[in-house]
Amino acid sequence: MRTLKGPGLFLAQFVGDKPPFDTLDGMAKWAAGLGYVGLQLPTTAGLFDLEQAATSKTYADDLKGGLAEIGIAITELSTHLQGQLVAVHPAYDGLFDGFAPEAVRGQPQARTEWAIRELKLAAKASRNLGLDAHATFSGALAWPYVYPWPQRPAGLVEEAFAELARRWRPILDAFEDAGVDACFELHPGEDLHDGVTFERFLDAVDNHPRAAILYDPSHFVLQALDYLDFLDIYHERVKAFHVKDAELRPTGRSGVYGGYQGWVDRPGRFRSLGDGMVDFSAIFSKMAQYDYAGWAVLEWECALKHSEDGAREGAPFIRDHIIRVTDHAFDDFASSGTDAAANRRLLGID
């Protein structure tokens, strides 16, 4: 058994234009001062050069070494935005174009090709940085049809997942070549948003060994899905972990779908750690039980609390939930040793 690593912090929600949030060095020193020992790095925030990290081991070593001097390790790289652009239904073209560079906006095919190239670069960069897991989204072709009204045409969902697999197969192969797991954050708005959809995707990519899961219980709370049973079922594929809280408090007026309300007014909303409904003691126990050896990374998203307060509270919250796994059984003191003949006598079969 291995003790998981942490606390880590995902930087995407903290990047800004004022110190210390305007540079990686500044954010690393800030995070280290709060007690974090790892950072998950978004690859589209201008914190570092993804292509350089993918093509230059020297650059990657310098990036990694500079953070190590501050007391920070890189937990994973993140391509959530690029992963989203691997597959975009036309209804969302205008909204998601902003995730892409100007040169490919308004050109869905070119945008997809750009996103796929970015994912492959991330695989190589992860390898150069000595990482074994990567965080991303799947994108979505079938999401507009998530609720079957009007009735979905036969074969629609199957074709969507077949196409998703065609786009992701070469990316997963690139991650295989790099020795890195591609961890999909199962998230509403993505075609991979729960266990059933992840299984559909696994079937379509022939159970590719690098298709893994970024486990984030907050998204399962908002779907009324059993996030503890999920770990019992899928723990072998869980290779990354976002520690994020949420609550779902349905009323007579609104429930899971939220009534198009803003985050503050939705029955289901993300919360800072400890302010929501997630049973993290049980989650960390299952992570220890199933020998999860990766990182526990705070992803802060809360409609109420200030981000800096959420970050300050998050490091000790995670640290206090990490279970240092035991190196011996609690009842070893009563062991009577191993004696095959005595065991047979005790069973009455001597």
Q: Which tens digits make up the pLDDT trace of 25-56?
A: 999 999 999 999 999 999 999 999 999 999 99
- pLDDT (tens digit, 9 = 90+) per residue, 106-120? 999 999 999 999 999
d(CA 23, CA 17): 9
Q: What is the DSSP letter of 46?
A: S
Instruction: State the average pLDDT over residues 261-273.
Output: 98
- The confidence score (pLDDT) of residue 73 equals 98
- In this structure, what is the dihedral angle of CA atoms 210, 83, 238, 232, given to the nearest 10 degrees? -120
19 prior amide bond cis, ω within 30: no
| Residue 332, pLDDT above cutoff 80 | no
pLDDT at 326: 85
Angle at which helix 195-204 crosses helix 156-178, to 10 degrees, equals 70
Q: Taking a C-beta distance cutoff of 8 angstroms, is the pair 183, 240 a contact? A: yes
How big is the chain by its Cα radius of gyration, in Å?
22
pLDDT at site 145:
97
3-state helix, strand, coil in the chain (%, to 5): 45, 15, 40
14, 50 contact by CB (below 8 A): no
What is the C-alpha end-to-end distance of the chain, expressed in Å? 36
DSSP 73: E
pLDDT of the residue at 166: 98
How far apart are alpha carbons 281 and 56 in whole angstroms?
A: 41
Which tens digit of pLDDT belongs to each residue from 78-117?
Answer: 999 999 999 999 999 999 999 999 999 999 999 999 999 9
Region of poorest pLDDT, from 40-54, 207-221, 330-344:
330-344
What is the maximum span of the chain, computed from C-alpha positions, in angstroms?
Answer: 80
Number of domains in the chain: 1
Q: Is 284 exposed, middle or buried (CB count within 10 Å of its CB: 0-12, 13-18, 19+)? A: buried
* E strand or H helix at 127: helix 108-128
Domain that holds residue 137: 5-346
The pLDDT tens digits of the residues spanning 185-206 come to: 999 999 999 999 999 999 999 9
Q: Tokens 């939930």 label which residue?
A: 321
Least confident range of 27-31, 326-330, 332-336 = 332-336
Report CA torsion sign: 254, 255, 258, 264. Answer: positive
- Helices vs strands, H then E, count in the chain: 13, 10
pLDDT at res. 32: 98
Q: Could you tell me if residue 130 is left (phi over 0), alpha (psi between -120 and 50 degrees) or otherwise beta?
A: left
Q: Of 222, 186, 191, 217, which is closest to residue 204 (Cα–Cα)?
A: 191
Mean pLDDT to the nearest integer, 165-181: 98
Q: Which two tokens stand for residue 166?
A: 């065609």
Q: Write the CATH number for 177.
A: 3.20.20.150
